[in-house]
């Protein structure tokens, strides 16, 4: 028997190159525990389904190719918590998977309720301004309505969706396709810090220093699909990992798939149109998704104006009712003249900003224009 405990033994198996969650599960089914699998001789390991001679040799010589104590020390240095499948705080939503991650590396905090109204917003890395704007809008408005946004922290649609959730002060979970010792792309380091600062979690099933490869992103996608209740493909060409995520979400977990239509002559929308033809729900706005999922957003909504007490005279509304008055007027004057661009420029959620825009219209400080734009009076 190895001297490692159950938790350390699972982490050690996860460190062995080429093993993966499916083969680790075969080892656990065969031996009954990770400790017994690590203690087994080469000849016995070859009898396990999906474990050939090469992997059997790697497992039998695990002391030469892994160092669980160094791995845990590196994780601690990076502020990363390590959770295994046998621990109570492992995400319940991932336990339903046929091949759940054996180990999860975590920065920030997930909540078990994150999976109750979870929407995966996915799409192409080579996103157009159209796709980026829509992904950020969906992320913001869905998070504003109490949804947790799930995505993969990739450049393009993923990043826009995460930023949208942060615009609303909501929750988002980013699932990485590589180890957490180095964030990719580097411009998302700020995004990671914001997510981990009380707005969700960044997670990976891969050892700390593992670099992204041909198979790591498809593995990541299955976690995104399993953690979500609905998948929204915001923009995707004909060949896209987002389509793979949507397919797994529908076929493996029975999740609802939505797709945003785009211009018919743009290659970046071909994947979304194909999904719609194949049965995905056409979606043109966050409230359509909420309605189709039978999720009421009422608990998250605020009254536009406080209810007056019956025995008190009506208050005279003034600038105090619009705490961001000067900032909003300056932003509109600078060209940030839509709700989307104002939320981004001011760092405010739509739920906070909309009542103030209404107040400024009542005061005739601004007036609406066609196309959802505003102008100062």
For residues 124-129, average pLDDT: 95
DSSP notation for 343-356? HHHHT--HHHHHHH
What is the band of 327 on the pLDDT scale with cuts at 50, 70, 90?
confident
Statement to judge: residues 213 and 151 lie in one domain: yes
Domain membership flag for residue 323: yes
* Domains of the chain: total: 3
- The domain that holds 60 is classified in CATH as 1.10.150.20
Statement to judge: residues 7 and 144 lie in one domain: no
pLDDT for the residue numbered 295: 94
Which is nearest to 127 in space by CA: 136, 119, 116, 118? Answer: 136
> Residue 333: in which H helix or E strand, if any?
helix 325-333
- Where among 18, 43, 66 does a domain terminate? 66
Statement to judge: residues 248 and 111 lie in one domain: yes
Domain membership flag for residue 312: no
Rounded to whole angstroms, the Cα distance separating 372 from 361 reads 13
- Where among 36, 66, 96 does a domain terminate? 66
Statement to judge: residues 60 and 161 lie in one domain: no
Statement to judge: residues 38 and 110 lie in one domain: no
Domain extent for 52: 1-66
Statement to judge: residues 46 and 173 lie in one domain: no
- The domain that holds 366 is classified in CATH as 1.10.10
pTM as predicted: 0.78
Whether the per-residue pLDDT at 122 is higher than 60: the answer is: yes
**Percent of the chain beyond pLDDT 90?**
74
- The 3 state secondary structure assigned to 99-148 is CCCCEEEEEECCCHHHHCCEEEEEECCCCCHHHHHHHHHHHHHHHHCCCE
Q: Which one has a higher pLDDT value, 121 or 343?
A: 121
Rounded to whole angstroms, the Cα distance separating 43 from 113 reads 45
Rounded to whole angstroms, the Cα distance separating 268 from 261 reads 10
Q: Which residues contact 348 (CB under 8 A, 6 or more apart)?
A: 167, 324, 342
Q: Kindly report, residue by residue over 77-96, the tens digit of the pLDDT.
A: 999 999 999 999 999 999 98
Domain membership flag for residue 87: no
What is the band of 163 on the pLDDT scale with cuts at 50, 70, 90?
very high
Q: Kindly report, residue by residue over 275-320, the tens digit of the pLDDT.
A: 999 999 999 999 999 999 999 864 443 333 333 433 443 333 333 4
What is the band of 1 on the pLDDT scale with cuts at 50, 70, 90?
low
Domain membership flag for residue 89: no
Domain membership flag for residue 367: yes
- The domain that holds 265 is classified in CATH as 3.40.50.450
Domain membership flag for residue 157: yes
């Amino acid at each position: 028997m190895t001297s490692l405990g159950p938790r350390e033994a699972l982490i050690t198996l996860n460190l062995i190159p080429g093993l993966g969650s499916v083969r680790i599960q075969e080892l656990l089914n065969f031996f009954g525990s990770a400790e017994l699998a690590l203690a087994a001789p080469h000849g016995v390991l070859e009898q396990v389904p999906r474990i050939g001679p090469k992997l059997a040799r790697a497992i039998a010589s695990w002391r030469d190719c892994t160092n669980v104590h160094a791995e845990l020390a590196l994780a601690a240095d990076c502020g990363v918590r390590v959770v295994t499948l046998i621990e109570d705080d492992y995400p319940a939503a991932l336990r339903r998977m046929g091949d759940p991650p054996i180990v999860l590396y975590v920065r920030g905090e997930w909540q078990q309720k994150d999976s109750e109204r979870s929407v995966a917003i996915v799409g192409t890395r080579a996103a157009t301004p159209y796709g980026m704007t829509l992904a950020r809008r969906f992320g913001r408005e869905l998070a504003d309505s109490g949804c947790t946004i799930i995505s993969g922290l990739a450049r393009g649609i993923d990043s826009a969706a995460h930023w949208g959730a942060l615009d609303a002060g909501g929750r988002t979970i980013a699932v990485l396709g590589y180890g957490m010792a180095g964030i990719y792309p580097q411009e998302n380091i700020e995004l990671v810090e914001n997510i981990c600062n009380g707005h969700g979690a960044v997670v990976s099933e891969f050892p700390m220093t593992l670099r992204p490869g041909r198979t790591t992103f498809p593995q990541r996608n299955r976690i995104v699909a399993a953690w979500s209740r609905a998948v929204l493909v915001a923009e995707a060409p004909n060949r896209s990992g987002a389509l793979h995520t949507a397919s797994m979400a529908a076929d493996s977990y029975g999740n609802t798939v939505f797709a945003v239509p785009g211009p018919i002559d743009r290659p970046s929308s071909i994947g979304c149109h194909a999904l719609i033809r194949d049965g995905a729900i056409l979606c043109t706005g966050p409230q359509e998704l909420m309605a189709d999922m039978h999720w009421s957003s009422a608990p998250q909504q605020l009254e536009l104006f406080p209810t007056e007490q019956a025995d008190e005279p009506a208050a005279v509304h003034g600038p105090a009712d619009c705490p961001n008055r000067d900032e909003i007027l300056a932003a509109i004057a600078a060209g940030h003249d839509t709700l989307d661009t104002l939320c981004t420029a001011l760092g405010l959620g739509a739920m906070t900003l909309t009542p103030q825009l209404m107040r400024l219209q009542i005061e005739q400080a601004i007036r609406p224009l066609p196309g959802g734009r505003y102008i100062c009076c």
